[in-house]
Amino acid sequence: MKKVTFAIIGAILGIPLSYYFQSEMVRSKVGGIGGYFKHFGDIVKDGNLLGNVILSVLIFAIIGGLIGYFIDKNEVKNQSDSSHQQTPPKSEHEAANVKISAQQVSETSKDAIEVSKSFMSDPVGGLASVYLKLGEAKSLSVGILFMVITIILFVIGFILANSTFLGGILSILFMLAIVFVSLSVSRGMFNGKGTINSDILITGLSLLPFSVLIFVSSLVGVSYGWGFFAYLSFGLTYTILILFSGFTKIYQFSESKSSIFIAIILFLVLNAVNIVFKIIFS
């Protein structure tokens, strides 16, 4: 049923994107974000924005549904292949539905620290070994924790750099969504190894260095110019290494195919941030 989930996600993403497509008309009347809200009702009355919203939601819902279809198809295939092989029974920890508790949060935090240490010491090979060690259940919880930390650091960095909370939260959410969807689509369409849990782990971990560097650069007052570019380059280097490790070691794609996917993901992420900046600051 992932096709339904991804269709809903696509529909939600289609709303702000349709608003961006219609923004030229608004900016011609009143500049800044205040103009968007002041004339929002007028545009809806004209029917222009409403039509764009409906069309955009339908298009992105269809795209999301197709993404979910390929992921479902790939996971069914993997389950069918594994049913013909004799596999060891799952451990109690992976089989049981463990309730969220202070102990579980503590264990997840320790696992996240171990993942970070392993990756810092071995940027390319560390991710795959840690993923196998964690297992599916722990990979999901650690990936979600990394996403939460990434969002918090990125938004704080935005605020420290005298930017807006809205700009920070929209930017990082778009980045996380694009990386996650890109990973899931790539794995599903090209029969890569791994599961949706590995997608979440790679997504959370890949953008964490980028967010850390945004936070640190803003904290020390370097939020523009060549100094900021140096921080940004360091974070993006680790992001690229994590994505490359995920594609080659977990999904088991060839290095040439992985390089193409990474270039596409970075292109989409940077353009998403550009769209958010235009929505907020134009």
In 3D space, the residue among 19, 71, 34, 92 whose CA is nearest the CA of residue 185 turns out to be 71
Task: For residue 90, tell me if it sits in a domain.
Answer: no
> What's the mean pLDDT in 121-144?
76
Residues 76 and 120 in one domain: no
pLDDT of residue 29: 43
Reported as a pLDDT band with limits 50, 70 and 90, residue 139 is confident
Residues 130 and 78 in one domain: no
For residues 45 and 201, give the distance between their C-alpha atoms in angstroms, rounded to a whole number. Answer: 44
Task: For residue 92, tell me if it sits in a domain.
Answer: no
Residues 51 and 155 in one domain: no
Residues 79 and 119 in one domain: no
For residues 205 and 143, give the distance between their C-alpha atoms in angstroms, rounded to a whole number. Answer: 7
Task: For residue 212, tell me if it sits in a domain.
Answer: yes
Residues 126 and 37 in one domain: no
Residues 120 and 229 in one domain: yes
Residues 136 and 274 in one domain: yes
For residues 32 and 7, give the distance between their C-alpha atoms in angstroms, rounded to a whole number. Answer: 32
**Given 84, 114, 136, which residue is the final one in a domain?**
84
pLDDT at 15 over 80: no
Share of the chain above pLDDT 70, in %: 48
How many structural domains comprise the chain?
2
pTM check: above 0.85: no
Residues 143 and 258 in one domain: yes
Its domain, for residue 31, covers 1-84
Q: In three state form, how does the secondary structure of 17-76 look?
A: HHHHHCHHHHHCCCCCHHHHHHCHHHHHHHCHHHHHHHHHHHHHHHHHHHHHHHHHHHHH
pLDDT at 149 over 80: yes
Residues 175 and 279 in one domain: yes
Residues 114 and 40 in one domain: no
pLDDT at 50 over 80: no
Give the model confidence (pLDDT) of 214-257 as tens digits.
888 777 776 665 666 777 777 788 888 888 888 888 888 888 88
Residues 41 and 134 in one domain: no
Task: For residue 54, tell me if it sits in a domain.
Answer: yes
Task: For residue 152, tell me if it sits in a domain.
Answer: yes
Task: For residue 98, tell me if it sits in a domain.
Answer: no
**Given 51, 84, 117, which residue is the final one in a domain?**
84
Residues 150 and 228 in one domain: yes
pLDDT of residue 14: 61
pLDDT of residue 191: 81
Per-residue CA distances from 180 to 69, 106, 153, 215 (Å): 15, 25, 19, 22
